[in-house]
Structure 1
Amino acid sequence: MIYILTGAIRSGKTTALLNWSKNRNDVDGVLCPDDANGKRYFLKLKSEITFKLEAEAEKEAIVAIGNFKFLQSAFNEANDYLTLEASKTETKYLIIDEIGKLELKNEGLHISTEALSAQFGSKDNTHLILVVRDYLLDAVLEYYGITECAILTTEDLENLI
Structure 2
Amino acid sequence: MIYILAGDIRTGKTTAVLNWANQRDDVDGWLCPDNENGKRCFLNVKSKVEYELEIESEVESTKVVSIGPFNFLRPAFKKANDYLISLTSENKRQYIIIDELGRLELNKEGLHTAAEDLIPKFLDEDTEHLILVVRNYLLDEIIEHYDISEYRILKKEDLKSLL
Q: Give the structure-1-normalised TM-score.
A: 0.97
- State whether residues 2 and 150 of structure 2, in contact with CA within 8 Å, keep that contact through their aligned partners in structure 1: yes
C-alpha distance 53-91 of structure 1, shift in aligned 2 (>3 A): farther
Q: Distance between the aligned counterparts of 1:109 and 1:50, measured in 2? A: 16
Residue 89 of structure 1 deviates from its aligned partner by 1.8
Residue 122 of structure 1 deviates from its aligned partner by 1.4
**What is the match of residue 79 of structure 2?**
77
Matches within 5 A, 1:12-161: 12-60=12-60, 61-90=63-92, 92-161=94-163
Residue 50 of structure 1 deviates from its aligned partner by 1.1
Q: Distance between the aligned counterparts of 1:50 and 1:39, measured in 2? A: 12
- SS of match in other structure, 1:75: helix
Residue 69 of structure 1 deviates from its aligned partner by 0.3
Q: Distance between the aligned counterparts of 1:141 and 1:17, measured in 2? A: 20
The letter of the residue matching 1:53 is L
Deviations 1:27-50, CA, capped at 9 Å, x for gaps: 000000001221000011001111
Q: Which runs of 4+ in 1 moved over 3 A?
A: none
In angstroms, what is the RMSD of aligned CA positions?
A: 1.0
- State whether residues 57 and 71 of structure 2, in contact with CA within 8 Å, keep that contact through their aligned partners in structure 1: no
**What is the match of residue 7 of structure 2?**
7
C-alpha distance 132-142 of structure 1, shift in aligned 2 (>3 A): same
Q: Distance between the aligned counterparts of 2:20 and 2:130, measured in 1? A: 15
- State whether residues 92 and 127 of structure 2, in contact with CA within 8 Å, keep that contact through their aligned partners in structure 1: no
- SS of match in other structure, 1:102: helix
Residue 56 of structure 1 deviates from its aligned partner by 3.9
Gaps of 5+ in 1: none
Gaps of 5+ in 2: none
Q: Distance between the aligned counterparts of 1:13 and 1:64, measured in 2? A: 22
Q: Distance between the aligned counterparts of 1:148 and 1:53, measured in 2? A: 31
Q: Distance between the aligned counterparts of 1:108 and 1:140, measured in 2? A: 13
Q: Distance between the aligned counterparts of 1:12 and 1:59, measured in 2? A: 30
Number of residue pairs the alignment of both structures matches = 161
- State whether residues 27 and 91 of structure 1, in contact with CA within 8 Å, keep that contact through their aligned partners in structure 2: no
Q: Distance between the aligned counterparts of 2:98 and 2:130, measured in 1? A: 8
Q: Give the structure-2-normalised TM-score.
A: 0.95
The letter of the residue matching 1:140 is I
